[in-house]
């Protein structure tokens, strides 16, 4: 069971048995979760050991009464509960599910506001209420009037931007026919003769940008192998609009253009540490999802083996690192619309799909995301984790018409050699089998991958015929062994090393999945093909002496 964190907390069953005091404490947790990203409260767990207390029982009446009582102590909080659940020790517990309050601020019944920050429920200070309102869409920084009137000094900047918008294939004809002022009003840059905050970002002078709270400022820092700073660039002068700033960063970030070089037949193949489209998408995401109510820089840190980009403000409400591929929430919708119109970013909600696809094409790990209330950091590794698979990925790209979903799934399967449907669903942040089918159906139909097993036991692997046709040298992996072949290998191992534990056998067969080894060994024991000795946690296996 996970430890307490941003979206999980554990509470003793005494919280629902000690009257008002326990319920008030639970109400604080519920409000804090609702004002952040939602969460789960495990009721019936020892808070220190993070496991249910031995011999613990619950009734359905207790669960229903607890939910009813909590609902009376929380405003703007949506709660549901699980059924009564049994732990491995047959102790009972249940889970309270708290959903994020996306359009209103949750409070306790006595009017107090709390927010989940890491693993703590913190009271919201007066200066944080504006930020909280912004997250929930009740305060929209972009369209707030600045103190600057739209004047002649702004006309030239508007003319340039309006012409760019008219040239965009993403803009409808009726918008292209508007005059410059009407375009500015259409994209919320001007309102009643005043520049909005968004208008100051795009059309204002450096002096005007410096007066709004808070414009886009950036630091770019390069580190050596000992993580010492070797170069630093800053953009704090506010002289550039968002597009100009983006292009300037890409121009100055020469370390992000470095490449690996590999032999490819008679030629040499170059793969950049970071695909240019991936860099663009990560930078644009940092701009588009920055919280403009926090005074902090976007940080770009370049290490020899990875790139880290941080932006002020946590992930938008309802978005987590575990659902970022499919959940959609726009913190700055008007800024995103302009950047999309100018073709600086992918369509709405498709940025991380592109990132996953690009990493799949280059046999790289997907980015790692960390989010707190104040900051989101995305870490992207430069390492190519399976160089041997690159020719196979290129072959499929050149000879098959795959969807983006198909290529993402194929890249994962190639990297893992063999993967279960549950593991693949986890990588793709999917919860339903039908949704996984949209990633794998075409790959199976075209004979690019194969599968074995059924339902949750389904395993996917690259079609051996495809590997032969591609004429690539991919090392044979024990992962792809058929069950009968793996069983023979296990028998040979136990012949040499009698009285072995499963963990010992797995260590000597490093490419195999321990759960596959466990499944075969348990089956052999049931069929009297193996002898056992010792308790469950220290059980050893040997061949029978016939």
pLDDT digits (tens, 9 = 90+) for 355-388: 999 999 899 999 999 988 789 999 999 999 888 8
Query: Would you state the torsion angle of the CA atoms of residues 10, 12, 17, 20, taken in this order, to the nearest 10 degrees?
Result: -50
| Beta strand ranges found along 348-454 (DSSP E) | 368-371, 375-381, 418-420, 449-452
For residue 447, the SS3 value is coil
Name the residue with tokens 């305060």.
139
pLDDT score of 102 = 75
Burial label, 85 (beta-carbon count in 10 A; 0-12, 13-18, 19+): middle
Structure tokens at 496: 């040499």
Is pLDDT of 298 > 60? Answer: yes
Which of 62-71, 260-269, 394-403 is least confident?
260-269
| CB 264 within 8 Å of CB 252 | no
Task: Check whether 2 has a pLDDT greater than 70.
Answer: no
Calculate mean pLDDT across residues 169-190.
95
Residue 350 pLDDT level (bands cut at 50, 70, 90) = low
What is the predicted pLDDT for the residue at 3? 44
- Dihedral over Cα of 514, 519, 525, 528: its sign: negative
512 or 450: which leads in pLDDT: 450
User: CB of 515 within 8 A of CB of 481?
Assistant: no
Report the pLDDT value the prediction gives residue 137, as an integer from 0 to 100: 66
Instruction: Please give the Cα distance from 441 to 433 (Å, whole number).
Output: 11
Supply 362's token pair. Answer: 């280059």
Average pLDDT over residues 534-538: 79
Average pLDDT (395-406) is: 91
pLDDT given at position 89:
76
Give the pLDDT mean for 511-529.
Answer: 86
Question: What pLDDT score was predicted for residue 129?
Answer: 78
Distance CA(95)–CA(99), nearest Å, equals 13
SS3 assignment, position 76:
coil
Q: pTM to 2 decimals?
A: 0.72
> What average pLDDT score do residues 291-300 get?
90
Residue owning tokens 């575990």: 322
Mean pLDDT, the chain, whole residue set = 88
Q: Is the pLDDT of residue 399 over 60?
A: yes
* pLDDT over 60 at 4, yes or no: no
404 CB-contact burial (10 Å; exposed 0-12 / middle 13-18 / buried 19+):
middle
Is pLDDT above 70 for 264?
no
Highest mean pLDDT: which of 16-20, 128-132, 365-369, 506-510? 365-369
Percentage of the chain modeled with pLDDT above 70: 93
Q: What is residue 133's three-state secondary structure? A: helix
Position 475 scores a pLDDT of 60
Mean pLDDT of 520-535: 89
Backbone angles phi, psi at 414, to 5 degrees: -60, -45
Contact 286, 315 (CB under 8 A): no
Place 262 in a pLDDT band, splitting at 50, 70 and 90: confident
Among 161-165, 400-404, 417-421, 507-511, whose mean pLDDT is lowest? Answer: 507-511
Question: How many angstroms separate the CA atoms of 34 and 103, rounded?
Answer: 11
Structural domains in the chain, sorted by start: 8-135 (3.30.950.30), 141-211 (no CATH), 218-381 (3.30.565.60), 387-475 (1.10.10.10), 480-542 (1.10.10.10)
**Mean pLDDT confidence for 389-418:** 90
pLDDT of residue 1: 45
Kindly report which listed range (47-56, 211-220, 269-278, 322-331) carries the lowest average pLDDT score: 47-56
H or E element, residue 13: none
Lowest mean pLDDT among 217-226, 333-342, 536-545: 536-545
Mean pLDDT calculated for residue range 269-274? 89
Nearest CA to 186 among 200, 199, 168? 199
pLDDT at 259: 92
46 token code pair: 């020892």
Do the beta carbons of residue 364 and residue 383 sit within 8 Å? yes
Distance CA 366, CA 360 (A): 8
Which segment of 206-210, 344-348, 390-394 scores lowest on mean pLDDT? 344-348
H or E stretch at 159: helix 155-167
Give me the phi and psi of 388, to 5 degrees please. Answer: -60, -25
Amino acid 79: pLDDT: 92
């Amino acid at each position: 069971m996970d430890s307490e964190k941003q979206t999980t907390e554990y509470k003793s069953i005494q919280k629902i048995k000690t009257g008002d005091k326990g319920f008030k404490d639970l109400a604080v947790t519920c409000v804090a979760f609702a004002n952040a990203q939602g969460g789960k409260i495990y009721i019936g767990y020892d808070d220190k050991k993070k496991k249910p207390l031995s011999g613990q029982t619950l009734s359905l009446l207790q669960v229903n009464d607890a939910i009813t009582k909590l609902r009376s102590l929380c405003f703007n909080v949506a709660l549901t509960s699980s059924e009564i659940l049994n732990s491995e020790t047959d102790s009972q517990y249940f889970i309270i599910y708290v959903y994020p309050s996306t359009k209103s601020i949750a409070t306790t019944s006595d009017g107090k506001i709390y927010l989940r920050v890491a693993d703590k429920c913190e009271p919201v200070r007066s200066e944080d209420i504006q930020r909280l309102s912004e997250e929930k869409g009740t305060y929209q920084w972009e369209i707030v009037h600045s103190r600057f009137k739209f004047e002649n000094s702004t006309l030239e900047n508007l003319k340039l931007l309006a012409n760019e918008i008219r040239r965009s294939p993403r803009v409808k004809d009726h918008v292209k026919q508007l005059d410059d002022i009407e375009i500015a009003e259409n994209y919320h840059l001007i309102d009643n003769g005043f520049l909005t905050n968004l208008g100051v970002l795009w059309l204002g002078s450096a002096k005007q940008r410096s007066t709004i709270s808070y414009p886009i400022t950036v630091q770019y820092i390069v580190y050596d192998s000992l993580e010492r700073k070797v170069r630093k660039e800053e953009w704090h002068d506010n002289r550039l609009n968002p597009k100009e700033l983006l292009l300037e960063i890409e121009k100055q970030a020469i370390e992000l253009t470095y490449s690996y070089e590999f032999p490819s037949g008679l030629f040499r193949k170059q793969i950049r540490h970071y695909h240019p489209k991936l860099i663009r998408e990560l930078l644009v995401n940092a701009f588009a999802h920055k919280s403009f109510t926090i005074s902090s820089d976007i940080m770009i840190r370049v290490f020899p083996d990875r790139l880290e980009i941080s932006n002020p403000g946590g992930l938008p409400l309802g978005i987590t690192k575990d659902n970022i591929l499919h959940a959609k929430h726009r913190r700055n919708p008007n800024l995103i619309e302009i950047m999309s119109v100018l073709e600086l970013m992918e369509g709405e909600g498709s940025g991380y799909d592109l990132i996953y696809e690009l990493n799949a094409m280059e046999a790289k790990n997907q980015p790692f995301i960390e989010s707190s209330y104040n900051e989101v950091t995305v870490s992207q590794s430069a390492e190519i984790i399976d160089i041997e698979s690159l020719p196979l990925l290129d072959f499929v790209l050149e000879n098959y018409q795959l969807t983006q979903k198909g290529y993402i799934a194929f890249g994962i399967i190639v990297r893992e050699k063999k993967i279960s449907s549950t593991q693949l669903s986890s990588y793709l942040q999917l919860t339903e089998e039908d949704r996984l089918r949209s990633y794998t159906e075409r790959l199976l139909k075209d004979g690019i991958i194969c599968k074995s097993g059924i339902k949750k036991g389904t395993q996917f692997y690259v079609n051996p015929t495809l590997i032969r046709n591609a004429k690539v040298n991919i090392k044979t992996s024990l992962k792809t062994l058929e069950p009968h072949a793996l069983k023979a290998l296990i028998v040979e191992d136990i012949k040499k090393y009698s009285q072995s534990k499963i963990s010992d056998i797995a260590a000597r067969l490093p490419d195999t999945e321990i759960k596959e080894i466990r499944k075969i060994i348990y089956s052999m024991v049931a069929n009297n093909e193996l002898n056992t000795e010792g308790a469950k946690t220290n059980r050893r296996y040997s061949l029978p002496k016939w």
